A and B are shown apart, each in its own frame.
Chain A
Amino acid sequence: QGHLVESGGGVVQPGRSLRLSCAASGFTFSIYLMHWVRQPPGKGLEWVAAISYDGSFTYYADSVKGRFTISRDNSKNTLYVQMNSLRPDDTAVYYCARDVAGDSTTWGQGTLVAVSA
């Protein structure tokens, strides 16, 4: 089934940067499409970004395009998202997830990012 653990969340000022990590275990990380999905407090789910199994293709929501960069290190079984120019509306719990639309998915517990002065 597999296990995903996000880290790197916290409080950050508007305009600053933050990098989230997601450590994978219990499955072959290097063969899966991986995603970041976020959920603002009290609101619904928003798909954020995805990266192909080998990192050659990346996809972004319009709301983060040009500010967020998704990446992965298959040698470390780790997924990342670099978040620049953060805004208050980026405040959310950020989940990493494996293959959200495919035959087998796993989600992490999430990490909270709060953008506030």
Chain B
Amino acid sequence: DVVMTQSPLTLPVTLGQPASISCRSSQSLVYTDGNTYLSWFQQRPGQSPRRLIYKVSNRDSGVPDRFSGSGSGTDFTLKISRVEAEDLGVYYCMQGTHWPYAFGQGTKLEIK
């Protein structure tokens, strides 16, 4: 099975400053159709998960453009250009290329 590893697990940030989360998979996430099914989710306290990014770099509807995704193969990154207070919560990467699907452990974004 594919294992997803995120780092760091806790990310202290200063409001207005950039932030970056890394996600690595134990095998390539390139599917036979040429797509790479790597997604990023945000979960605010007490809320359901909300997907931000799909297929590495595509923003979901309504997601602010300060969020961006990049990467290829086994290494992926979520970047927030300027952290706002509403961005605090836990972020998860997820692979949807190989069965069974798998989430990373989560990265908690908190105020420094």
Contact = CB atoms under 8 A, between A and B. Distances in A.
Interface residues of A, number: 22
Given A100-B51, A101-B37, A105-B54, A44 B92 contact: yes
Nearest to B103: A45
Contacts of A95: 48-49
B74 interface: no
Contact of B103 (A47, A105, A108): A47
A50 B101 contact: yes
A110 B43 CA distance: 13
A60 B51 CA distance: 21
B65 interface: no
A106 B51 CA distance: 9
A99 to B, nearest CB: 9
Nearest to A103: B54
A105 B51 CA distance: 8
A89 B42 CA distance: 24
B28 interface: no
Contacts of A26: none
Interface in A81-102: 95, 100-102
A44 B103 contact: yes
A47 B48 contact: no
B58 to A, nearest CB: 8
B109 interface: no
Nearest to B60: A105
A46 B100 CA distance: 10
B27 to A, nearest CB: 16
B95 to A, nearest CB: 8
Interface of B: 1, 37, 39, 41, 43, 48-51, 54-55, 58, 60-61, 90, 92, 94-97, 99-106
Given A45-B106, A60-B100, A109-B48, 20 more contacts: A44-B90, A44-B104, A45-B43, A45-B49, A45-B103, A47-B100, A47-B101, A50-B99, A95-B48, A95-B49, A100-B39, A100-B51, A101-B54, A101-B95, A101-B101, A102-B54, A103-B58, A105-B51, A105-B60, A107-B51
